[in-house]
Amino acid sequence: MKFLMYVIGIIFSLIVVMSMFFPFLNVYAKMEKIPDPYYFLVLGMDTTDVNEKVSRTDSILLVGVSEKKNKILVLPIPRDLLVNIEKETLRINAVYVKYGIEKLQKIIQDIFKVKISDYLIFDYGLFKEIGEIYAPVKIYVPKDMYYEDFHQNLHINFKQGYNYLNGEELLYYARFRYDALGDLGRIQRQKDVLFALMGEAKNSGLSKVLYSIDKVLNRTVNSFDYKKLFSLFLITKKSEINFLSLPIEIVGDYVKINNDQIKYTNKYLVDFEKPLKKEKIWVTLINNMESFKLSFYTITRQRWTNAQGYLIEIVDILPNIDGIDHNKSYLIIKNDKYERKILNEIKNRYSKITFKLIDAKQNPTQYFSIIKFLSDNFYNTLNSDVIILVGSNS
């Protein structure tokens, strides 16, 4: 009799355990095989309610997945990228709301020559809800962050160093954009949050992961199902994640794709291997002449004619920055490995001009003021190796 009760107890325990894990086993057994490579879109709406009517898409990410290569590629697409659609030129962040996800999907497919299978559209409230599941989430804050906006109910006060944030604090961190880098800095913080949440998910128990997947499915507009999202999670656990940069050119308030460089990005997305290419030095030149009557763009292009190995960006907007005097020339070398080469190049092309060297460590206020000026005028300073303020036409 005791033996029979013992056996019944074991059987009952097995039934309880199997009932607990049956949903997972059922999903796992019926999972669809994800194509390789596999691409999907992630759209972020600048609201805390995905069903709220908004006029623009705040962030657009193209994600590529290769289980064979154990890699995931994430390409942020600038909001101000100009595209042509139905004889109309508009920013890409207006396409989804005006024309729908299918039209946006086709435009991005045509640009990057890949087949996009799925999409996920989220609002920033999702950061808060997923963050609460894994809280406290460890985030490194590079410098003190403080901002109060009672209209948006946004209250930020983070200290430099490692911070352990709850869901609401993660939302504040991801939405913060009031630093020298503007939207570029905000994109970096969103990357930080995504990496932190993925790291937490990889090291969490199954119940939290399943709950997170359920939350994503029910809190977003998407074309996924439970099985596919779980498959993506399993691939993510063992994959290297790389963020790509789109090669762009700034034209006024807009962004255009650099057609000479986009082929490298497309090849990277298809092969999941960084293509070899000849490295160019990115030089940003700013007009610092107060009453320059000629075309700074034309004169500068002529001066840098036949500049082999350089990518030239010209900013014809007079900066008004404390500590920067108009009609004087300044030089910032962001990439030290090019210092000797760029100094020689400037000596040849600007032989009659004396440049004051601004060191970011010794003069951080001046340096970040210039970076903020460029960012405020929609210029990408992350890729610049050298920044030159030209204060004389000599």
Q: What is the pLDDT of residues 88-136, one digit of tens each?
A: 888 888 899 888 999 999 999 999 999 999 999 988 778 788 888 888 8
pLDDT for position 29: 43
**Mean pLDDT over residues 242-247, rounded?**
85
For 277, the 3-state DSSP assignment is: coil
In the predicted structure, residue 50 carries a pLDDT above the cut 60: no
Rounded to a whole number of angstroms, the CA Rg of the chain reads 25
**Mean pLDDT over residues 41-62, rounded?**
73
Please report the DSSP string for 283-313 in residue order: EEEEE--TT--S-HHHHHHHHTTT-TTEEEE
For 376, the 3-state DSSP assignment is: helix
Q: What is the pLDDT of residues 291-320, one digit of tens each?
A: 877 788 888 888 888 878 888 888 888 888
| pTM, full prediction | 0.61
* DSSP 8-state code for residue 37: S
Other Cβ atoms within 10 Å of 370 Cβ, number: 25
- 173 with 366: CB under 8 angstroms? no
Q: How far is CA 377 from the centre of its chain?
A: 18
Q: What is the pLDDT of residues 157-196, one digit of tens each?
A: 888 888 888 888 888 887 776 665 556 666 677 778 877 8
Q: In this predicted model, which residue has the larger pLDDT, 7 or 245?
A: 245
Beta strands per DSSP E along 82-223: 82-85, 88-91, 116-123, 137-141, 145-149, 154-158, 161-165, 221-222
Measure CA of the first residue to CA of the last residue in the chain; give whole Å: 105
Per-residue pLDDT band for 20 (boundaries 50, 70, 90) equals very low
Residue whose pair of structure tokens reads 């960006």 in the numeric block:
313
What is the phi-psi region of residue 264: left when phi exceeds 0, alpha when psi lies from -120 to 50, beta otherwise?
A: alpha
